[in-house]
């Protein structure tokens, strides 16, 4: 397996595009794209995972209906930023209109469209800019249009987020590529992220959904920026089979290889999302090992990266390990706190701060040097089993408050 360029266009038969259509007017002479599209040359097996928030954006509801109608088949994605199309009386009507506009322009069925939106909640989505933007959007579709599409889904993101890999299935070269957005309102159980992943591998529909569920659990659902779970979260995975490998079935060796490649893409996108958290200056990666099972390892790691006090300590480059142990202690997992070890690590070294549930002497100067890095690793050993898991987050800074203090304006 190796990294490859191209994002959502890395796999054979996928085009993408992105344009600025003016969903949210700006006085700036330069505009970020706000309307994006991904299209496959042929119908795809499609799988999706959605937000667990009881308040769900209209695009989520419409996409679910569409995939149910087609039996899990899709051809294209249309997505807008700047407006979430959520909590609006006409939300579903607008989301369905986006599907019909895209379908008519592409010459396909409306139910073959995955629709998504991200941005401000509770504001009516203006459909007129999208109607005007459809033609240039479709005209701009290209096998190298991944960057234009990736920028179209950005809101408070400061960088576009793309990743792709090449791997082999039965001697046949296949590719998986993805793009993601998300910077704030991010918390485990699909947080404000939109994620679109494409592959040219041939795989059974049920196996595709199973693979996505399994990898979401250990990537996107192990991500937290600020503890808020969005209304519009979605990860959609489309497989068009154009690599012409023998169809992958659940439980096979090939299925394991496919999941490994999918993990590689989704893990890197997760790290990008964490590092680009709103106002963030540092990525936090917490690895919990020695757990009795994977669920307990996930619970502990997520508890640490979700601790507001610990996030503040990392921003201040303060090795306040007691906040780590506190977060470990209130995690709903099975272990003996008197056996827990904690280390802090970065490119500048590694230092033990806790052994057997108690503090140990360490150099504050060395700890401060380690915490100057923009990527901090928290290493926890529960000494209660063989399972391990990783969770990702970021520090909490003054800028997070500034960004969210006037988000609508």
**Catalytic positions, written as ranges:** 192
Give SS3 for 212: helix
Instruction: Give the whole-angstrom CA distance, residue 190 versus residue 177.
Output: 19
Instruction: Give the whole-angstrom CA distance, residue 191 versus residue 45.
Output: 24
57 contacts 129 by C-beta, under 8 angstroms: no
Instruction: Give the whole-angstrom CA distance, residue 127 versus residue 102.
Output: 13
DSSP 373-390: SSEEEEEEE-SS-SEEEE
Residue written as tokens 């991904």?
38
Instruction: Give the whole-angstrom CA distance, residue 244 versus residue 43.
Output: 14
DSSP 22-86: -SS---SSS----EEEEEEEEEEEEEEEE---SS--HHHHHHHHHHHHHTSEEEEEEEE-SB---
117 contacts 59 by C-beta, under 8 angstroms: yes
DSSP class of residue 170 equals: T
Instruction: Give the whole-angstrom CA distance, residue 336 versus residue 131.
Output: 59
Strand bridging mode 14-19 / 234-239: unpaired
309 contacts 351 by C-beta, under 8 angstroms: no
Instruction: Give the whole-angstrom CA distance, residue 409 versus residue 404.
Output: 10
């Amino acid at each position: 397996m190796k990294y490859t360029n191209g994002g959502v266009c890395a796999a054979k038969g996928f085009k993408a595009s992105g344009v600025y259509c003016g969903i949210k007017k700006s006085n700036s002479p330069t505009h970020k794209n706000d309307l994006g599209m991904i299209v496959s040359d042929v119908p795809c097996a499609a799988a999706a995972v959605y937000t667990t928030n009881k308040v769900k954006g209209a695009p989520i509801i419409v996409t679910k209906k569409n995939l149910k109608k087609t039996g899990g088949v899709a051809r294209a994605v249309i997505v807008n930023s700047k407006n979430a199309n959520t909590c609006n009386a006409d939300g579903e009507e607008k989301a369905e209109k986006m599907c019909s506009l895209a379908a008519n322009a592409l010459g396909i069925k409306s139910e073959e469209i995955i629709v998504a939106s991200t941005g401000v909640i509770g504001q009516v989505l203006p459909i007129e800019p999208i109607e005007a933007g459809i033609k240039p959007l479709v005209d701009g579709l290209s096998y190298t249009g991944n960057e234009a599409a990736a920028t179209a889904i950005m809101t408070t993101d400061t960088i576009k987020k793309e990743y792709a890999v090449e791997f082999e299935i039965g001697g046949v070269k296949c590719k998986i590529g993805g793009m993601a957005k998300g910077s704030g309102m991010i918390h485990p159980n699909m947080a404000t992220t939109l994620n679109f992943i494409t592959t040219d591998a041939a795989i059974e529909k049920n196996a595709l959904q199973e693979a996505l569920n399994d990898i979401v659990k250990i990537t996107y659902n192990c991500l937290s920026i600020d503890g808020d779970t969005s209304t519009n979260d979605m990860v959609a995975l489309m497989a068009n089979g154009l690599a012409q490998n023998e169809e992958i079935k659940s439980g096979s060796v090939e299925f394991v290889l496919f999941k490994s490649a999918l993990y590689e893409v989704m893990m890197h996108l997760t790290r990008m999302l964490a590092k680009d958290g709103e106002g963030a200056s540092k990525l936090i990666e917490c690895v919990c090992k020695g757990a009795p099972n994977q669920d307990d390892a996930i619970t502990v790691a997520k508890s640490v990266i979700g601790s507001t006090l610990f996030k503040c300590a990392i921003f201040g480059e303060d090795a306040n390990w007691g906040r780590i142990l506190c977060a470990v202690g209130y995690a709903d997992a099975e272990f003996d706190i008197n056996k827990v070890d904690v280390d802090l690590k970065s490119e500048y070294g590694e230092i033990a701060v806790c052994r057997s549930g108690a503090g140990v002497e360490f150099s504050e100067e060395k700890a401060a040097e380690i915490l100057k890095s923009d990527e901090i690793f928290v290493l926890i050993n529960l000494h209660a089993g063989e399972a391990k898991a990783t969770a990702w987050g970021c520090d909490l800074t003054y800028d997070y408050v500034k960004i969210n203090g006037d988000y609508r304006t």
